[in-house]
Amino acid sequence: MEKKKVLFGTDSYFQLMTAINLRTTVYKDWYADIIVYGSVPSADKIADRLRETNVFDHVYMADTSLTRCGKKYSKREKLPKYFVYLYSLIAPSHVLKNAIGAKLTIPYDEFVLNSYGALPDTIFNICYRNNKNIKVKRIEDGFVSYFTEFGSKKGHFRQFLESFSNLIFGDKDIKKYIDGYYFVEPDLVIAKLPYPVIRSPKFSRNNKELVSVLNHVFNYDNSLKFDKKIYLFEDGSLFFMNSDEEVDIVNELKSVVDSANFIVKMHPRRKENRFSKLGVDVMAKSSIPWEVIQLNNHFDNCIFMTVASSVAFSSDIYFGDNCHKILLFNCLKNPPALVNENFKKYLELYLAKFGADSLHIPTNYEELKKEVVEISKTF
C-alpha cells in the first residue's frame, strides 16, 4: 500500500519543533517533506542540520521576500515582496521554484502549517494542482494561538485582489480547505474555530528520535548545566513597554532567597544585562529554544517566574513537568496589555484543567516573597 504524503510549512522555531514532533508520532509512517520559511532565524543553517537527520524525505528552505513581515524589516527591505506577491497570484509555480530551488510535483495528501500568508498560499495552490483532494491542517504557535483563529487578518483590498485572481487563474482560498487544527491542550482553546480541534501529542523525553533530531537541529550542547532552582524569564511585553519592573522584582527577592539559587533568562531582544549590578546570574544568550532545553533537563520542584509569557504554561501543557509557576503581572504597577479578557479566560480554563495550585499569582511584592520563601523550603 502506497504511503500517504504530507508537506509541512514552518514559520518559527516552535512550529518547526511541533512539525518534527508530529512527524515522529502522528505522521511517522507517512512520506513527509518540509519547507522551512526564510523568516525562521538562521533558516539556512537550520535546514542544513535538519537534512542531516533524515527525519524528513526532503527539506526545503524558502528564500523569498514573501517572508519579510513585521517590524524587524524596513520598508525598503519589504518593497520587493509586493511585486513578488503580485507575481505569485499569476504564476505561483514560478515564484515557488525561485524560492525553494525545486518544483513541487508530489501529490501531497495534507499540507500542515500554522497560518495563511503569501508564501503558504502559494505553496498550497501548487499542492492543490498536484492533488485536488488535498486537506490542510493547522498547528499552534504557542499559547497565543489558543485565543484567536488568526493572528492577523488580510485587508479588504488584498481579499478582493485574491478573489479576483482566483476567478481568473483558478487558484483556491486555503481557508476553505482547512479540516483540522492541532493543539496539545484542546480544552484550553477559546478561539471560535470553524473546523475540528485535534489533540496533538506532548513533547516527550521518551520520544528519543524527537530529542535527537531537535538537539542536532539546534546544536544543543549536552555539557550545559541547569542546576539553579529559581528561574526568571524576561517578558517580551515589558521590553516593548520599556519597563524595568523585573529588575525591581529580582531586587526584592534577593532579600529573602539565596541569589546563588537564582538565574535570569534574558529575552532574545534584550541587549543589556540589567541584573549584573544585583549580583544575580544571567543565562548566556543562546539560539537554542527553551523548549529544547527543557526537553533535555528535568526542572521538577524548580520555580519558573514570568510576567505573563508562555513559559509559565509550557511545563504543564507541553511537558507535564512538576515545577512551580509564578505569574507576576498582578505585582506590576503597569501590567502589560496582553493581560486582557482573553488572557484571563485562558487562565480560568488552565486552572480548571491543571488545578488551582498549578499557578501562583501573587498580588504584590510581599505575597510574592512569602510564596517564594515557602517553596524554597522544599529545595
Reported as a single tens digit per residue, the pLDDT across 125-153 is: 999 999 999 999 999 998 889 988 887 77
pLDDT at position 61 is: 97
Report the pLDDT value the prediction gives residue 273, as an integer from 0 to 100. Answer: 80
- Digit-coded pLDDT (tens) for 19-45: 999 999 999 999 999 999 998 989 999
Please write the tens of the pLDDT for every residue from 213-272: 999 999 998 888 888 999 999 887 777 777 788 889 999 998 898 888 899 988 777 777
d(CA 322, CA 287): 25
- Closest by CA to 230, choosing from 275, 266, 267, 262, is 262
Cβ contact 81:95 at 8 Å: no
For residue 71, what pLDDT is reported?
63
Percent share of the chain, pLDDT over 70 = 92
Q: Report the pLDDT value the prediction gives residue 90, as an integer from 0 to 100.
A: 78
Residue whose entry in the numeric block shows the C-alpha cell 474555530: 193
* Mean pLDDT calculated for residue range 327-340: 86
Q: What is the pLDDT of residue 84?
A: 74
The residue behind cell 507517512 is 30
Percentage of the residues of the chain whose pLDDT score is greater than 90 = 54
Residue with more model confidence, 58 or 338: 58
